[in-house]
Amino acid sequence: MSVDTRIPDTEPPEIVAEEGTGRRRISRSTAIELFGIPVLVVVGFLLYVWWRQTATLDSIEASSLAWPDVRLQLWQHVKLTIVASLIVVAIAVPLGTLLTRPRLKFLAPIVVGVANAGQAAPSIGLIVLLFMWLSSWSGFWVAIAALTLYGVLPVLRNTITGLQGVDPTLVEAGRGVGLSGLAVLFRIELPLALPVIMAGIRTALVLVVGTAALATFVNAGGLGGVITAGITLYRYPVMVAGAVLIALLALLVEWVGRVLELLVRPKGI
């Protein structure tokens, strides 16, 4: 009697999603992440609403957590995140692409070093210094400038890493069939580097959401105002409520980045 000595397949099960005429495989862990995070955010927000409606708050706490004020600060926080993230992508992806071209490759360490220095600076100090330096700007755009400096590095670094990681033989094959350098970039290099680039964008999104809480110090609004009010007034329920709302928003934004990554990822990668 023969004994089956084959090693069982331990790969996680996959879910096959139809997409047009193609098929895209999504691992079970990814599917759980895609469906689990929105559920977690909704449950967390409903628990916050329940606590807000049933908690015994004094007049100061109730005023700090008034629904109109929270909705306004939430919208300001989302607006800061969206605008800063779009600017980060518009700057970092083209710049990272240029820095992988042969003529400009020598500048890559210098630019990444400058970006590292910008992110290493204390966030609150950077925002205040920019506010003093750009005194003619509104607080919103000062905050956008600071958030952009903080968010550029992950996207820039991942763009460079992703493009440098493309197999050179594929690039040569593209050129061998008559594609121009620009066509090779858009049809071969960028699609293959896209998963790495999108990972950097997701990191930048979460970083921008968290740092946007400091925009309140330059009158740019945001949910940081709730936390600041709680600290200033020694009202810990207010402070914790602001932190919970920012955490839920960060989870939601990270989930949006994950969905975008799956949507734009080329089939077969």
Question: Could you report the per-residue pLDDT of 245-254, keeping only the tens digit for each?
Answer: 999 999 999 8
pLDDT over 60 (residue 229): yes
- 150, 119 contact by CB (below 8 A): yes
> Nearest 10 degrees: CA dihedral of 148, 250, 116, 142?
30
pLDDT over 60 (residue 111): yes
* Rounded-to-integer distance, Cα 144 and Cα 81, Å: 8
Beta bridge partners of 18: 23
> What integer best gives the mean pLDDT of the chain?
82
* Rounded-to-integer distance, Cα 207 and Cα 92, Å: 15
- 73, 226 contact by CB (below 8 A): yes
pLDDT over 80 (residue 170): yes
Mean pLDDT of 190-203: 90
Q: Which one of 15-24, 30-39, 110-119, 182-191 scores highest in mean pLDDT? A: 182-191
Q: In the chain, which ranges are continuous DSSP H helix?
A: 28-54, 59-64, 67-98, 108-120, 123-133, 139-164, 168-176, 181-184, 190-211, 224-232, 236-264
* Rounded-to-integer distance, Cα 135 and Cα 132, Å: 5
pLDDT at 16: 44
Range scoring the smallest mean pLDDT among 8-17, 47-56, 133-142, 182-191: 8-17
In this structure, what DSSP letter does residue 23 have?
E
* Rounded-to-integer distance, Cα 193 and Cα 164, Å: 8
- 139, 215 contact by CB (below 8 A): yes
* Rounded-to-integer distance, Cα 217 and Cα 124, Å: 8
Where residue 24 falls among pLDDT bands split at 50, 70, 90?
low
pLDDT at 11: 44
Vertex 79 angle, CA 47 and 156, to 5°: 110
Where residue 118 falls among pLDDT bands split at 50, 70, 90?
low
pLDDT over 60 (residue 69): yes
pLDDT at 240: 92
pLDDT at 23: 53
Q: Which one of 53-67, 134-148, 175-189, 238-252 scores highest in mean pLDDT? A: 238-252
pLDDT over 80 (residue 234): yes
pLDDT at 83: 95
* Rounded-to-integer distance, Cα 259 and Cα 269, Å: 15
* Rounded-to-integer distance, Cα 54 and Cα 47, Å: 11
**Ramachandran angles phi, psi of 99, nearest 5°:** -75, -5
Where residue 188 falls among pLDDT bands split at 50, 70, 90?
confident
In percent, the amount of the chain with pLDDT more than 90 equals 27
Nearest in space to 159 (alpha carbons), one of 114, 194, 203? 194
Mean pLDDT of 164-176: 84
Range scoring the smallest mean pLDDT among 66-80, 124-138, 244-258: 124-138
The two tokens of residue 36 are 């689990």
